[in-house]
Structure 1
Amino acid sequence: MRALILAAGRGKRLANHHNQPKCLLEFGGHSLLERHLLILSRLGVQDIAIAVGYQAEQVEQALDRLAFLPRPQTVYNADFNAGSIVSLWSLRDQLRAGGEILLMDADVLYDYRLGQRLLQSPHSNCFLLDRDFEPGEEPVKLCLRKGLLVEFRKQIPAELHYDTIGESVGFFRFAEEMASRLADRCQHYLDQAHQEAPHEEAVRDLLLATPERFGIEDITGLPWIEIDFPEDIQQANNSILPYLQSLEPSAPNANI
């Protein structure tokens, strides 16, 4: 199992509140980056590649200080102001290297059990879905009809019929073949000069082409938050951090 982490973006909506990559924001004495590495290590995932871009040297320095072994590989995306499709494309060699893939956004504060659900899922191509979310244009939504995924996007067509809707956490699991197809799909977007596209569009294309090959794990009730806005930082500290499982190896289960 290989983990790919997207950490190249600038985080423009937090520009007035920090001048570092979002993955270096700290919660409870640990950066988001360190939390990713601790959780992945606990899950037994040691083959890790990180797409870096904005203030990449700060991420490199943080990795040096953390001294995780084996040291995660970093891949530099010079075009980090473009859409995240470019960051995912920069990891194309890792997507095509064989084996299963975990694809993760770096700017998420989350409980260990989310990663555990993803790894233990019977679905080799898997999304995480949270039914408890605030409606609006910002969440990337997952829609199901009769147990089958029918949409994955921020904007849901008004005519779409579905019986279940939730927010995507931004973590995915892909089988070897699907990971390779994802790299090809990213290449297609760049060949068509669509560098501004979010990486979710490439994932969506694969989903809609073969929906029967994808499944979900419902993680409703488990604590997590994506850090996009200043208010997310406050909510993360006040409403998410207190309910996370400890990162210490011998920690007991959280009581939620």
Structure 2
Amino acid sequence: MRAIILAAGLGLRLQLPPGEQFPKCLLQFDGVSLLERHLQMLETAGVTDVVLALGFQPGLVEAELKRINWPHPVEIVINPRFDLGSVLTVHTVADPLTRGGDVLLMDADVLYDERILNALVAGETVNRLLIDRDFEAGDEPVKLCLKDGVPVELRKQLAVNLEYDTIGESVGFFRFREETAQRFAQIVAGYIDSGRSNLPHEEAVRDLLLERSQVFDTADVTGAPWIEIDFPNDVVRARAEILPQLQPLVTVPR
């Protein structure tokens, strides 16, 4: 199983002063960067094949990797047009995405409990989505809608006449089987070829779900603490509300 962590963006919505911006995966909580948390929890879950998709200030992330001294090689892929949409970043990792085996596609700007990752990696080869039914309504969350257990929508804005029986927020982590990852890469390539490089990669995931060529299961992680960090208030909430609920990080014996 391979983990691809998307960490290329500028994080403009954090509203840091000019010249003080840095990749969001370097945000620290209780003295530990989001990147280090990702790597430690992946290793605990038995995932040591990791690809980092970088763009904005990659040298800072590489320096953090060196500081962490993670005992496994990390493949780094650079998206030089990180100012465009994340679908382009996914396109830059097409090779590791389609290299074989199950793939975890993970946003880097998420502070989360180990139960989230455990739900994603559990079991044999599978396509998997994560849903949190306890979410704040509004325009920002990416909603995952199911009907009879089948995904029928993955978007921030829902159609008025959409029929579903379950709704929640997508955690932003996806698991793809080998053949599904290959099909996803083809869809992403179609976005690039048609001039849609400025779109979020969730749009391509949505297309994959709605074409129904692959079967997905959904793990319900409602009750497990997590937060995607986009805005200054998200940082405040992460420190005050989410961090105290997290299980202590487990260090794998060397």
1:38-68: CA deviation from partner (whole Å, max 9, x where unpaired): 0000001000001000011100111111111
Whichever residue aligns with residue 49 of structure 2, its letter is D
Query: How far did residue 212 of structure 1 move?
Result: 6.2
Q: Are the structure 2 counterparts of residues 22 and 145 from structure 1 closer, same or farther at C-alpha, using a change threshold of 3 Å?
A: same
1:5 aligns with 2:5: yes
Q: Which residue of 1 aligns with 2:77?
A: 75
Whichever residue aligns with residue 139 of structure 1, its letter is P
Structure 2 spans left out of the alignment, 5+ residues: none
Equivalent residues in 2 for 1:88-107 (5 A)?
Answer: 88-107=90-109
Q: Which residue of 1 aligns with 2:16?
A: 16
Q: Are the structure 2 counterparts of residues 137 and 122 from structure 1 closer, same or farther at C-alpha, using a change threshold of 3 Å?
A: farther
Q: Which residue of 2 aligns with 1:109?
A: 111
Q: Are the structure 2 counterparts of residues 111 and 55 from structure 1 closer, same or farther at C-alpha, using a change threshold of 3 Å?
A: same
Query: How far did residue 71 of structure 1 move?
Result: 2.4
Q: Which residue of 1 aligns with 2:205?
A: 203
**Distance in 1 between the 2:188 and 2:205 partners?**
9
Query: How far did residue 211 of structure 1 move?
Result: 6.8
- Matching residue within 173, 178, 181 for 2:180: 178
Query: How far did residue 72 of structure 1 move?
Result: 1.1
Whichever residue aligns with residue 82 of structure 2, its letter is F
Q: Are the structure 2 counterparts of residues 212 and 186 from structure 1 closer, same or farther at C-alpha, using a change threshold of 3 Å?
A: closer
RMSD (CA atoms)? 1.4
Equivalent residues in 2 for 1:29-48 (5 A)?
Answer: 29-48=31-50
Q: Which residue of 2 aligns with 1:189?
A: 191
**Distance in 1 between the 2:38 and 2:190 partners?**
30
- The alignment of Structure 1 onto Structure 2 pairs a total of residues equal to 250
Query: How far did residue 203 of structure 1 move?
Result: 0.7
**Distance in 1 between the 2:51 and 2:15 partners?**
25
**Distance in 1 between the 2:69 and 2:158 partners?**
43
Whichever residue aligns with residue 169 of structure 2, its letter is E
Equivalent residues in 2 for 1:23-172 (5 A)?
Answer: 23-121=25-123, 124-172=126-174
Whichever residue aligns with residue 59 of structure 1, its letter is V
TM-score (normalizing by structure 2): 0.95
Query: How far did residue 123 of structure 1 move?
Result: 7.3
Stretch of structure 1 that moved more, 101-110 or 210-219: 210-219
TM-score (normalizing by structure 1): 0.95
**Distance in 1 between the 2:172 and 2:197 partners?**
19
Whichever residue aligns with residue 32 of structure 2, its letter is H
1:227-250: CA deviation from partner (whole Å, max 9, x where unpaired): 000000010001000010101348
Q: Is the 8 Å Cα contact of residues 146 and 163 (structure 1) preserved in structure 2?
A: yes
Query: How far did residue 184 of structure 1 move?
Result: 1.0
1:48-94: CA deviation from partner (whole Å, max 9, x where unpaired): 00100001110011111111121211100000000000110010000
Structure 1 spans left out of the alignment, 5+ residues: 251-256
Q: Is the 8 Å Cα contact of residues 15 and 232 (structure 2) preserved in structure 1?
A: no
Q: Is the 8 Å Cα contact of residues 11 and 21 (structure 2) preserved in structure 1?
A: no
Query: How far did residue 179 of structure 1 move?
Result: 0.5
**Distance in 2 between the 1:69 and 1:249 partners?**
12
Q: Is the 8 Å Cα contact of residues 4 and 102 (structure 1) preserved in structure 2?
A: yes
Whichever residue aligns with residue 162 of structure 1, its letter is Y
Stretch of structure 1 that moved more, 206-215 or 235-244: 206-215
**Distance in 2 between the 1:62 and 1:248 partners?**
19
Q: Is the 8 Å Cα contact of residues 49 and 73 (structure 1) preserved in structure 2?
A: yes
Q: Is the 8 Å Cα contact of residues 180 and 214 (structure 2) preserved in structure 1?
A: no
Percent of residue pairs identical: 52
